[in-house]
Amino acid sequence: MRPLPTASRLRHCLRPHRLRLLAAIVGLYAAPRVSGAQVFDLSRAVLVDLTHDLAADAPAWPGSREPFRLDTLTATASAALFRLALNEHFATHMDAPRHASGSGWTNEQIPLSRLVAPLVVIDVQVQAAADRDYALTEADVIAHEREHGAIRPGSIVLLRTGWSRFWGDPRYFGAEPGPAPARLHFPAFGPEAAQALVRRGVAVLGVDSPSTDIGAAPAFTVHGILGAANVPALENLTGLEALPSTGALLMALPIKTRGGSGGPVRVVALVPR
């Protein structure tokens, strides 16, 4: 494996307080120095993939036009080449702040220090099971902090609703019958909770449902809050049930499209054994 970058190199891309947070987590996985080099010991971590497959049969936002296409240019016994065409905001993806703000960062402008960071998971599976329109509240955030400690600046905060179990099922979007635009039903963040998390200096927000705004929201208010604060968002995550409330490290690296408002992302958590 490649040696872990030296602290001096990391300081060029991470602010000092972020470096301390990341170094504390990386220390959980770092093996003793060998010949003067620090190596990354993945045997001390469980890698959890939080990403749905990109595929033609993946659920797409109601009303999307041809959200995914994979054309075969060549496919033989010895080689294959395909042309991929897809919407930026399809399957597991990141919303760049530009998606909801004219002055927000585009894909290539998001700092790496926002995309690799300590993880906090807020669980509302019970509430979402009882109310498909459940929106995280500021009281939920405060309750989480009472049990697990304060949400530190620079954390990536994911909302575990349990909704990914409906992936590929009509219940995932919960669209009501009728002409488009359909009224949708799924849980996510509420505006007050989003504002509270922005005030705490979060790096990224994410959710295992189709959007950071609940399906029944009359407007994309949470999107606007995050865009104005330059906070990227992760949508259509999966596998959050395997994550602890705190103590893991998240890596969410979107496609680096110049000027992009979002795009597909591979999201991986490193959970200490």
pLDDT in tens, the chain (273 residues): 445 444 444 444 445 545 454 555 555 545 555 455 556 788 899 999 999 999 999 999 999 999 999 999 999 999 999 999 999 999 999 999 999 999 999 999 999 999 999 999 999 999 999 999 999 999 999 999 999 999 999 999 999 999 999 999 999 999 988 766 669 999 999 999 999 999 999 999 999 999 999 999 999 999 999 999 999 999 999 999 999 999 999 999 999 999 999 999 999 999 999
- Residues annotated as part of the active site: 99
Sketch the domain layout of the chain as residue ranges.
7-40, 47-272
H or E, element range at 121: strand 116-123
Q: What is the DSSP string of 37-102?
A: B--B-GGGEEEEE-BPPP-TTS---TT-SS-EEEEEEEE-SS-EEEEEEE-SSSSSEEE-GGGT-T
CA-nearest of 18, 230, 244 to 122 is: 244
Instruction: Please name the residues in contact with 2: beta carbons below 8 A apart, sequence gap of 6 or more.
Output: 40
CATH number of 47-272: 3.50.30.50
Dihedral of CA atoms 245, 246, 248, 251 in degrees, nearest 10, equals 80
Q: What is the DSSP string of 142-169?
A: HHHHHHH----TT-EEEEE-SGGGGTTS
Q: How many CA atoms lie within 13 A of 269 on its CB side?
A: 26
